[in-house]
């Protein structure tokens, strides 16, 4: 594909990685349940979220893995109290569910004073972090690999029916307490769908929905409208592509073609997706990009 004008596709890919990270800021089986069972519990898996972000700052954190009813292996993190808290003084459990194109680390990427995960732990809550299938922290399956088409054959409905069921059931069993649910963006539509299931609703004491989403008819973002207009999803499926990483060579080529026709301002990808943002802290961009390469789930 031809090279892009303006800032170029590589810069756009980097900006998109930041944008999708931040845009409009989720062995004891449940008795009688066929949807969830825990596989293991580890102190801090090598390279896991606990080891990378929380333990270096002095926060207690353990890694947990649960299996969904359709075989996906999901990573959970548990922060029982704050850095200076007492292990025997744990407050009510709160479950944090991330949004689209994010992972559980989204609750911890700023300072301890500015990241909700740290703030809740430091204020006495028993914090649990969810990571849905296909994210960096949850790329396992009992029979499939990420290279299999079937690994990516799901939508947000499965995230509610299987992923939330498995994760919330595990937390409920471990804590023996009703859970405060806190979802962001995609995590809100997952929650709204899941709460219609009596077996999940009975585990929830209250819910807080950040940037709640239910319908997309009102979307005016130029990037989204352009992708829909050219049927990008169908193009990718026709090409046999089921996982899209906008920082890969192919992802850069796709952005290259989108930027080339003048429909997008690729020098300001954040605004192309969210509109003008009054409150974005641009000084954090380098940190977000340096933190880790983002992996994106099925279009």
CA 20 from centroid of its chain's CA atoms:
10
Q: What are the boundaries of each domain within the chain?
A: 1-24+218-299, 25-212
* Better pLDDT: 269 or 107: 107
30-33 — which CB contacts under 8 Å span 24+ positions?
Answer: 30/169, 30/172, 30/173, 33/169, 33/199
Q: What is the mean pLDDT of residues 294-298?
A: 38
Task: Give how far the C-alpha of residue 56 lies from the chain's centroid of Cα atoms, to the nearest Å.
Answer: 22
Tell me the CATH architecture of domain 25-212: 3-Layer(aba) Sandwich (3.40)
Q: What is the pLDDT of residues 94-130, one digit of tens each?
A: 999 999 888 999 999 888 999 999 999 999 999 999 9
At 236 the pLDDT is 84
Average pLDDT score over residue span 211-234: 82
Tell me what the mean pLDDT of segment 274-285 comes to. 71
Its pTM surpasses 0.85? no
All residues at 6 or more sequence positions from 104 whose CB lies less than 8 Å from its CB, including other chains: 49, 75, 77, 96, 98, 129, 130, 131, 135, 137
pLDDT tens per residue across span 148-200: 989 999 998 999 999 999 999 999 999 999 999 999 999 999 999 999 999 99
Statement: residue 251 has pLDDT above 90: no
The residue to which tokens 């930027």 are assigned: 259
Is residue 211 predicted with pLDDT exceeding 70?
Answer: yes
pLDDT at 296: 36
Average pLDDT score, the chain: 79
How confident is the model over 17-22, as a mean pLDDT?
A: 41
What is the predicted pLDDT for the residue at 17? 43
């Amino acid at each position: 594909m031809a090279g892009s004008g303006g800032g170029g596709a590589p810069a756009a890919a980097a900006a998109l990685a930041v944008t999708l990270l931040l845009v409009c800021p989720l062995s004891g089986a449940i008795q009688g349940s066929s949807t969830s069972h825990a596989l293991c519990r580890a102190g801090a898996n090598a390279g896991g979220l606990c080891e990378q972000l929380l333990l270096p700052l002095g926060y207690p954190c353990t890694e947990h893995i649960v299996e969904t009813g359709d075989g996906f292996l999901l990573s959970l993190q548990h922060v029982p109290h704050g850095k200076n808290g007492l292990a025997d003084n744990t407050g009510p459990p709160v479950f944090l569910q991330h949004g689209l194109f994010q992972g559980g680390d989204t609750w911890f990427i700023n300072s301890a004073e500015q990241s909700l995960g740290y703030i809740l732990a430091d204020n006495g809550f028993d914090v649990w972090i969810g990571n849905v299938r296909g994210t960096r922290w949850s790329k396992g399956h009992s029979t499939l690999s990420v290279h299999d088409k079937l690994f990516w054959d799901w939508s947000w409905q499965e995230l509610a029916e299987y992923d939330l069921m498995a994760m919330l059931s595990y937390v409920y069993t471990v804590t023996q307490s009703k859970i405060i649910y806190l979802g962001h963006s995609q995590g809100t539509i997952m929650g709204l769908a899941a709460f219609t299931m009596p077996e999940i609703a009975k585990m929830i004491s209250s819910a807080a929905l950040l940037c709640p989403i239910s319908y997309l008819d009102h979307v005016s973002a130029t990037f989204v409208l352009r992708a829909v207009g050219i049927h990008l999803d169908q193009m990718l499926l026709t090409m046999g592509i089921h996982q899209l990483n906008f920082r890969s060579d192919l992802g850069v080529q796709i952005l290259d073609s989108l930027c080339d026709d003048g429909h997008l301002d690729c020098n300001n990808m954040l605004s192309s997706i969210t509109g003008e943002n009054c409150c974005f802290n641009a000084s954090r961009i380098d940190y977000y990009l340096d933190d880790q390469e983002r992996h994106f789930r099925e279009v």
